[in-house]
Amino acid sequence: MLSIHRHQPLILLVDDDEAVQLLVTVALHDSGLEVLTSADGSRTVELAVQRQPDLILLDVDVSGLDGRDLLRALKRDHRTRNIPVFTMDNKEPFWGRRLLLELGADECLDKPLFFAGLARRINWHLDKLVRLPVTRPVLIVEDDADVRETLMELLEDNGIPSLAATNGQEALDILQVERVNPALILLDLMMPVMDGWEFRRRVEDDRSITHPPVVVMSARSRDDSIHPAAWLQKPLDPEKLLSTLTRVANL
């Protein structure tokens, strides 16, 4: 998977025990990890879609939903299936742990937790994922065929998958109809059918889209009303483009 790492990786902790929430949060913060907590299992998929954490710590007995059903839901949804999940339980028998692993858990942890060891295991797992090939694509929205093809070749040569749209409407269909969740959007502004400004407005108004970072490519002066994560002046500098992708989305 591609993990879009922040300066502090984000861990979603799903546990209804306030003492565990506090202890885990303190331990992970001390190890450079940001923690988002939830005591309601029924909101976990929604939170994971919205925040795209780097890893989920899931109590099997969390209130609101059986942990196994929740794990199934996370792994069925294409927007969350690639997020690593560590389950936590204090009474799971061997056959139960095997089922959790078959359902997609990356690790099954015993309670009470060894907090220092937990932080090390999470950081080790995230470091391992960073070394894996990129699997989430960059969406290129560009009406110029030569620029489109050049960008796709450049990304492919650097191990980054991509897909392309010739205008904002095609890109919107990719996000809304095909439900693709790109790692990043490379967006031209001047396009037929639907330009970059309208596309950006439509994406921001649609809560069903996970809102990946947008890097604008334009010969125009920078326009912050479009809320870009970065702005690249055309004609594009390949080295600057790649360094921007690395900075914005850790590609």
Report field, pTM of the whole predicted structure over 0.85: no
Identify the top-confidence range among 40-44, 99-103, 216-220, 222-226: 216-220
> Would 186 be classed as within a structural domain?
yes
pLDDT over 80 (residue 65): no
Find how far residue 65's CA is from the centre of its chain: 23
Contact of 64 with 85, CB cutoff 8 Å: no
| Cα 134 from Cα 137, distance rounded (Å) | 8
What is the number of alpha carbons within 13 Å of residue 149 lying toward its C-beta? 3
- Chosen domain end from 71, 101, 130: 130
Evaluate whether residue 3 is within a structural domain: no
How many Cβ atoms sit within 10 Å of the Cβ of residue 82?
Answer: 17
Where helices occur in 109-237 by DSSP H, the ranges are 115-130, 145-157, 168-176, 196-205
Q: Does 2 fall in a domain?
A: no
Instruction: Give residue 95's domain range.
Output: 10-130
Q: How many residues does the chain have?
A: 251
pLDDT at 94 over 90: no
Q: How confident is the model at residue 207 (pLDDT cuts 50, 70, 90)?
A: confident
Dist. CA 86–CA 106, nearest whole Å: 6
- In this predicted model, what pLDDT tens digit does every residue of 96-105 receive, in sequence order? 778 888 889 9
The answer to whether residues 102 and 190 belong to one domain is: no
- The predicted pLDDT at position 2 comes to 33
Same domain for 151 and 120, yes or no, is: no
pLDDT of 53 reads: 92
Q: What is the pLDDT of residue 125?
A: 82
Give the number of domains in the chain: 2
Q: Whole-angstrom Cα distance, residue 189 to residue 156?
A: 23
Same domain, 29 and 96: yes
Rounded distance, CA 59 to CA 69, Å? 12
Domain of 210: which CATH number? 3.40.50.2300
